[in-house]
Structure formats: structure tokens, C-alpha cells
Structure 1
Amino acid sequence: MEKYSSMSFCSTSTRNGDEPKANYRGRDRSYADLAEFIDEKAEQLDISAVPSKAAELHCLFDNARDSIIALLAFARKTGVLLEGLHHLTILNSLLRDDAGKRTIKTWCNGKLVSIDVDDLDAADAARLALAEQCGVSEQELLRFEQRMADPYGACFRVPCNHQGCSMTKAVSFGNPAEMLDAERLTANEIWYCRYHREAAFLQGGIISDEFLPVLERIRQSPGLAQKDTGAKRDDIQFLQSVGLLTVEKVTYGTRLLCYQIALTDEGHAMLDKLSVAVAVA
């Protein structure tokens, strides 16, 4: 992991004409590309040895301020026309107010809140204490808080394994530990949407991983009702249609009481296959 220092972002240029080892080039790139690049840089940083994040952030703000001022002054001196309004807007955001304070936004309990830079260490200590209470790292808690504020909801999305399909399945979570579980699950999960799951089974003998616990429950308790399997009705109908389940009606006279569900021989074989695949993974 890259050791953090306040010079990490100040030494990417060279005076001998050599290109820096890692840099972001190309103004035609999207903001999403730039955000991804910054995320990668952040992932590489180790800030564990920074004694005060507030002091370090002030230092980085001051360095950025001085660099932009030097850039604009040099450009003006040489007659280079820059997009001054954009640079001045950025410069203004880096300056302290009349009281010498800077306000920043950070995450707290799933919400973006404004705090003074000088209060960053206290906010960081509170987050660290909460992370220890939740049994996760500070960075994992921070990712959870960011996810909780996502307008699309606190979830990861699993794409359909069928090539070219744009369907996805949401895997939701409600706390940091559940987020990590969902993250691990979605990293390797095989899932087919309702439009492609039959073709996946008929052509390759593959079913979605989400059916593993359903088949396990039915094996452990043959004759389960649909509501006790943990599966939706159309999921049971699909598993029955491909020959993995039998569904028998239980009636009293002409009255339908329930459906009893059990594995077929093919269902037992598929469950064994899925269990081995999960164990290997």
C-alpha cells in the first residue's frame, strides 16, 4: 500500500521531461473516469501514520491554494489564457473564511454533514469507535455510510449471467456487517433473470446460486409448503418446470389446503452439484 504523505500529489510532474509513473491525462475523459481514478488513488493510500487528519487536510488545502495561485500568476505573466472563472471558483473553495476556518462535508450516520476542518479528528474518532462497535474497519464503515446515502438504495446489484442482458438483482443490507456479506456474495454470485434462467438450465445445466438454500430447505424437510421454502411462487414453478421439484396438492374434499414440495432425483443431484461448487469457491 502506498505510504501517505502531503507530497503524494505534489510530485507527479518532472523537470527533465519524463512522464510521471501515474497521472490522470485527457480532458475528454468523463467526470466518472476522474472519480474512478481518484478512488484508485485513495485505495492505495495508507494514512495510519498521520497524527492529525485535520492538520494534514489544512496543509493539503494550503498547498493546493498556493499551486493554483502560482499557476494563474504564471499564466497571466506569460499571456496564457486560462478558464479563470473555473480556477477562481476552485481557489475560493480552498480559502479560509475571515475567522480562519474551513468548512468541509463528511459522512455521519449515513448523512452528509458540514463540519469545521478543525473538528475532523473528533469526527474521525467517533467514526472509529462506531466501527469497532460494529466489528468493521473505519474505511468499511465509511463505505457503508456512503452507500446508505445512495439515492438508489443501500444495495449491491448482481448482473444476469446471460451475455448481453441488462437485468440486475438487488442485494440489500442494513448494517456494515451485512454490507460486507452482500459484497462477498455479489462478487461471485451466479444469477439468471426470469427471462434467461430456463435457457441456462436447458443449455448448460446451470441454475442461479440463490436456489441453493431453497433446495437445501426442501431436502431437510420434504413436503414443505411454498411459504416455508423461502422462494417466490414463480421460482417454485420454474424449479418444477425443469424437473428439480415435485409439487403435490393437498386437498380436503374439493378444498385445496396447500401444496407439498419435495426434491426429485434430479433436484438432489443439482443440490449436490451446487454444494460442491460453493465449497470449492
Structure 2
Amino acid sequence: MKKEFGLVLLALFFLSLNAITGAYAVEGDRNQIPVESPVEKPMNLVKEEMDISGDGKADIIEINGIQFEEDSSYLKEINLVIKGSNGETYTAELDSGFDPELKFVDLNHDGLVDLYITIPTGSSGGIANHFLYTFKDFTLTNIAVPDPLMITSEFQDGYKAVMTIDNTGQSYDFNLINRKEDYDQLGLYLNGKLNEPRELMVDPYGSLKPILVKDGVYGLKGIQQISGAYHADGIAFVESKWVYEENGWKLLDTKVIERNKKAKKKR
């Protein structure tokens, strides 16, 4: 009898233990339920109202972003959101970066303003990403901005350099003798002779902004930096002007400006 009573008590003990363990497991699961972090919630960065569809009614244009981490100004996700006057919502994913800027300008010359968005990357040289969207007839269309100029370059003996804008075939010479001491210390030159073949550093657009290219017609002006042995070793800026035509972007003009003076055109 005592043995049977002891077995009953032992069974009750294990049942109680399982119940307690189960309760803790449920509580633990509850504690593990993910809670949305404040930095994961999209924050509104830009909000404007403008007729961009062409129906004569205002559409709502927003740019929203998600922070990389709390108190960070870097946005790991950025999205364009358009709430059309037709009651529909349209979205487009943009690149990550800082402080997006929105401008309304008719760059494709269809009589309606387009959305021109600039997002700085935070990298050296002021590099930014640029986006151009149209929304005519409630169709959100991405028009790619013009590619940066294709530029080939090289250092030459005697502390010189040459660069060619492949788009136009124009070449420019640079006299870098004033950097002799720096380049010798870096081992770039020895007794005026280039130690090994080396190209200049050519940035993508540091700036690409809408400008009036002629009466009532807007285009874009881009600026690219040309550097020498390192990025802070700035040699020149290359400007390019573009206008959008039916078949795409047309290059109107280029200009190379050496630091504090115009570069010497070779041919």
C-alpha cells in the first residue's frame, strides 16, 4: 500500500513539473515575439502635391526611408510613393543614401513636370545617385539619366598627364610639375620617369543638376572630378551638358576646367 501511494506521489510530481516547464516555455515564446523596431518603420522625408499625371488634379508625391539604425542619418531603404488622384498608389524603390531631394522639372519635354530625385551617397567627392520619373496618364516610368562621360587617361613621363573624352574624341594635357615632391615621395616617379603605367582617377557625377539649355528647354549639367595619385589630389573638373530627345540623351557640350584655370586642349 505504501509503495502504491509513493508511486502516485511520484507521478503527481512529474505532472506538476511538466506543467511548470510548459508554462515557462509559453512565457518564453511570448517574450520572443518580434516587436517592430522604430528604425524599421518608414519615415516620411518629402511630401508634395502636384499634378504630374496631367488630369488637372493634384497627386501626392512622397519619399519615405528606413534608417540604418536609430539616430542614424543614413537611410538603408528609400522609396518613392505616389498617391494618384485616381485613388491608386504607385511605388518605386530608390537607392540607399542620405537626405533625398526632389525637384519638379519637365526634362522629357512632354508638357508635364517630371520627378527629378537626387540622393547623396556620402562617399568622398560628393557622389550622388540620380533618378528621373514621369507619371503621365498615371503611368510611372523611369527615364535613366545620362551616363557619365567615358574618359580614358594616363600619367606620362615628366610629371604630365593626358586625358581623352571618348564621347567627343577631345584630348587634354595636364602639367603636374608642381606636384613633383609629392609624387616622388609616393614613388609614382623616379628622376622624372613614371615607375609604372597608371591612370588618373575619374569620378562619376559629383553633381548632375537641371539647367536651362535654351529658351524654355531644360536639360542636365553634370560635373565629374579628375584626380591624380589619390582622390584629394584634384586635377580638373569635366562639365557636360545634356538634353533629352525622342531617342534618348544628347550630349550638347563639354568643358574641362583645370584647378583655377582652363585645361589645355591637345586636339
Pair in the same fold by TM > 0.5: no
Larger RCO of the pair (alpha carbons < 8 Å, separation 6+): 2
Instruction: Say which structure is richer in helix.
Output: 1
**Normalized against structure 2, the TM-score is what?**
0.23
Instruction: Say which structure is richer in strand.
Output: 2
The structure having more radius of gyration, on CA atoms, is 2
